[in-house]
């Protein structure tokens, strides 16, 4: 059996590599019938290495913010499908707006209203609302789902895209692939992480500076580089969304130089909610 231990800057090493209680440190450890190390001040038992390997290999991607809510992507009422067009928050409410295309140039609307704090559905006469919640709304505001992250309405047609499955692949905008449904453009919002498969959007090298690029990297439990905040804090807002770095919320996800051309990288830049480079349009993936 061969086990390789590998760690990233998310795990502090204090300049010594992997350190075991009692003082032993080893910058690289490989178990392959025997132990090898570039530095071995004290002996390390095979059992200790196996325990450490098991610990590292079972790490899961856990967001700092455990959950984020989002209106259901669609509801069905009287056999008609109503698709989510916007989510807004006001006072103590989360408002979900839905439209059904009637096929004659007109549209029918439906609404779901939820309590902003406990996410329960409101109906008349619970509270004075502009209209009643549709009877087919989920009784609790669901967890956020999967979305396309599109450039702003002023810079239309491009989607935030994972360019390859390799760690360190740049996050770029590319033409939204509605025909084939490019999986690299579908981002699951799980609490404070944005995930595609086992890869998370990641701030390259964790650099806190204007112009640092975004990449995708294997999701790491609690990695500061992979944690983000949404404009609605605990709720995904549609269609307009601003996304900032959880560890340094003064930096926002930004379209580099505002160039709306496939292949342009996505970066972090000082937040300015009037800057169209930082205004993203979310579209639920159904």
Total residue length of the chain: 286
pLDDT 10s digits, 164-206:
999 999 999 999 998 888 999 999 999 999 999 999 999 999 9
How many Cβ atoms sit within 10 Å of the Cβ of residue 16?
14
How many whole angstroms separate alpha carbon 283 and alpha carbon 185?
11
Question: How far from each other are the two terminal CA atoms of the chain, in whole angstroms?
Answer: 43
- Cβ atoms of 260 and 158 closer than 8 Å: yes
How many whole angstroms separate alpha carbon 104 and alpha carbon 107?
8
pLDDT 10s digits, 39-73:
444 554 544 444 444 443 334 467 999 999 999 99
What pLDDT score was predicted for residue 99?
A: 98
How many whole angstroms separate alpha carbon 149 and alpha carbon 131?
30
Residue 283 tokens read as 């579209």
Q: What is the largest CA-CA distance in the chain?
A: 79
What pLDDT score was predicted for residue 29?
A: 36
- Cβ atoms of 50 and 20 closer than 8 Å: no
How many whole angstroms separate alpha carbon 135 and alpha carbon 111?
9
Counting beta carbons within 10 angstroms of the beta carbon of residue 190, is it exposed (0 to 12), middle (13 to 18) or buried (19 or more)? buried
DSSP state of 257: G
Long-range contact list for 174-182, CB < 8 A, 24+ apart?
Answer: 174/262, 174/263, 175/262, 176/148, 176/150
Lowest mean pLDDT: which of 78-82, 85-89, 103-107, 120-124? 120-124
On the question of pLDDT at 19 being above 50, the answer is: no
Q: For the chain, what is the mean pLDDT?
A: 83
Phi then psi dihedrals of residue 236, to 5 deg: -80, 125
What pLDDT score was predicted for residue 3?
A: 33
**Which position has the token pair 């709306």?**
260
Q: What angle do CA 192, 220, 169 make, to 5 degrees?
A: 90
Give the C-alpha distances (Å, rounded to integers) separating 98 from 95, 129, 138, 186. 10, 16, 13, 21
- Cβ atoms of 161 and 266 closer than 8 Å: no
pLDDT 10s digits, 141-170:
999 999 999 998 777 789 999 999 999 999
Phi then psi dihedrals of residue 206, to 5 deg: 65, 30
Domain boundaries, the chain: 3-57, 146-284
Q: What is the CATH number of domain 146-284?
A: 2.80.10.50
pLDDT 10s digits, 252-268:
999 999 999 999 999 99
pLDDT 10s digits, 111-123:
999 999 999 999 8
Residue 3 tokens read as 């086990």
């Amino acid at each position: 059996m061969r086990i390789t231990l590998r760690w990233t800057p998310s795990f502090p090493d204090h300049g010594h590599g992997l350190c075991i209680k009692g003082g032993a440190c080893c910058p690289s450890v490989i178990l392959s019938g025997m132990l090898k190390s570039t530095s071995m001040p004290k002996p390390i038992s095979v059992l200790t290495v196996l325990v450490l390997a098991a610990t590292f290999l079972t790490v899961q991607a856990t967001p700092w913010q455990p959950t984020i809510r989002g209106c259901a992507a669609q509801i069905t009422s009287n056999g008609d499908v109503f698709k989510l067009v916007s989510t807004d928050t006001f006072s103590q409410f989360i408002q979900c707006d839905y439209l059904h295309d009637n096929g004659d140039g007109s549209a029918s609307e439906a609404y779901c209203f939820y309590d902003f704090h406990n996410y329960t559905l409101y109906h008349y006469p619970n509270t004075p609302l502009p209209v009643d919640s549709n009877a087919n709304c989920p009784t609790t505001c669901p967890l956020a789902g999967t979305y396309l992250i599109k450039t702003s309405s002023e810079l239309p047609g491009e989607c935030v895209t994972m360019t390859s499955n390799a760690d360190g692949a740049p996050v770029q905008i590319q033409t939204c692939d509605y025909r084939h449904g490019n999986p690299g453009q579908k981002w699951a919002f799980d609490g404070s992480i944005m995930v595609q498969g086992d890869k998370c959007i990641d701030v390259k090298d964790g650099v806190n500076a204007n112009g640092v690029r975004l990449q995708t990297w294997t999701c790491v439990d609690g990695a500061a580089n992979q944690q983000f905040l949404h404009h609605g804090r605990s709720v995904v807002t549609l269609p307009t969304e601003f996304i900032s770095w959880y560890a340094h919320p003064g930096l926002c996800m930004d379209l580099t130089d505002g160039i709306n051309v496939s292949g342009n990288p996505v970066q972090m830049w000082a937040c300015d909610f009037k800057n169209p480079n930082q205004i993203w349009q979310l579209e639920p993936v159904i």
